[in-house]
A and B are shown apart, each in its own frame.
Chain A
Amino acid sequence: MLEIRNIDAYYGKVQVLSNVSLEVGKDEIISLIGANGAGKSTLMKTVMGLLRPKKGSVIFQGEDITKIKNTKIVSRGIVYVPEGREVFPEMSVRDNLEMGAYCRKFSSREMKTHLEDMYEIFPKLGERQKQLAGSLSGGEQQMLAICRGLMSDPKLIMFDEPSLGLAPVIVEDMFRVIVKINQIKKIPVLLVEQNAYMALSISHRCYVMANGMIRLSGRSEEMLEESDVKKTYLGG
């Protein structure tokens, strides 16, 4: 589905990614874990075409999208739900969702079924569809950001720290929804998380990143077992 091959990327002169390769297969949930500043978000930005890599390539559905414009990448079906939610605060919940489908030309009936779909996943959003997004709670904003991402029927969805700053109960809900999205909608998921245990427990495979490099990769269950992974990256 998505293949990242030997990416080198720089912010100015500072190298932030070196020789990063990663693969997301059909129907898979892949988690990408690592400490702050390891380059996880940068990698997402590179996939989205917001940062141009110096070397390497990004292949999506068999096509090289490394040099394609960001807007084209979105309309090809890759959606990135950014860290910190980033909703449009002065727009209603409903408008936020509709803007999620910006790159699709939905008829008003299609738009309606999509909206209803989202309200089914998160009934709270349906109740609050006329409310301004900025007035929602943190958890609700995160739900909105996820749904906004789903509105365009993505072929691959990438979540950046969806659990950040949320209460533990809500975090569990959030991960349950991510699994649901993957199973019911058959959308492959690339999940970036600092909450490594959670991420490992729902994902099929996992990559561990540090200092702009992939240090480890493997099946998530095995990673949870291995003691040195625990020690180094999961804090004991």
Chain B
Amino acid sequence: MSIIMQLIISGIAMGFIYALVGIEYTLIWNASGVLNFSHDKLITLGAYIFGGTYILALKMGFVQGILLSLLTVAIVGVIIARTIFIPLRNLTMIYTIMATVMLGKIIVEGIRLFWGPVPFSVPGFLVGTVKIGKVVISRANIAIIITAFICVCALQLFLYKTKPGKAMRCVAQNRNAAQLMGIDVKTVMVTTVAISMIICCLIGVLVSPLLNISTTMSNMIGLKGFAAGVIGGFGYLPGAIIGGLVIGIVENFASMIFPSVYKDIAAFVLLVAFLLIRPKGITGKTR
């Protein structure tokens, strides 16, 4: 029984990670109509900035390190938006997609040159476990669930209750009309990419206790986050959360039935099944 509880909780934790990836992905898709294929590399970049530079090299405290990392990636996000998403926004999507794929390559090579090719971990960051009754939960999982939950709620409030948030939704729903309301589409795009980058960095920081920090650390997370978006209903934020949780829990239970090396297959079988049977996703909504 306690094993099942443990599987559910770690499933939820991973599910929230996938949900955050799905959301980060979805935000940019909504604002600029472009799939950002460099997003998993941006997660990696966030982890390196946090672990490699602020914690290990500069010996900062964790809280300070996280805050500075978020600020740093937000600036990187503004630069990326200004150099890629905005100049290419009126061209066919394939150009921007190619640009984001290349951006991903540039980031990975840049990381290899700057931080070196050897994977490492951040000692002492969110290690250990907490025992609640008979259930043992790792601190990392608790941190993931709490942070992701706050992040999702904050984002939801921002998008539905504030003026800049509503402007972002306007741009997502009808870019032309948004322009006619006097909404500065470029500013909205910059803000969106910056927010999306902050979420990427947060994901990178949160998974760093679970995975070694390496250039390939986020490949799987990136793909499964995309799957989360599709399964939940692409472009619809609550959908990404539902999709993420479904994948997280399903793959953890799959590891109970099949050898755990086959765990990753579960998410993708689910993705293909959804594409074939219900391409609109569980919620059937978009945006």
Contacts and interface: CB of A to CB of B under 8 A. Distances in A.
Contacts of B182: 70-71, 74-75, 102-103, 152
B166 A103 contact: no
A70 B163 contact: no
A77 to B, nearest CB: 10
A82 B173 contact: no
Nearest to B183: A102
B109 interface: no
A70 B181 CA distance: 10
B167 A91 contact: no
A3 interface: no
A86 interface: yes
A86 B163 CA distance: 19
B93 interface: no
Interface string A3-36: 0000000000000000000000000000000000
Q: Is the interface of B mostly helix, strand, loop or mixed?
A: helix
Contact of B163 (A50, A87, A102): A102
B161 to A, nearest CB: 10
Interface residues of A, number: 23
B173 A90 contact: yes
A50 B181 CA distance: 12
B152 to A, nearest CB: 19
A50 B166 CA distance: 22
A100 B166 CA distance: 12
Contacts of A99: 166-167, 170, 181, 183
Interface of A: 48, 50, 70-71, 74-75, 79-80, 82, 86-91, 95, 98-100, 102-103, 148, 152
Interface of B: 163, 166-167, 169-170, 173-174, 176-184, 287
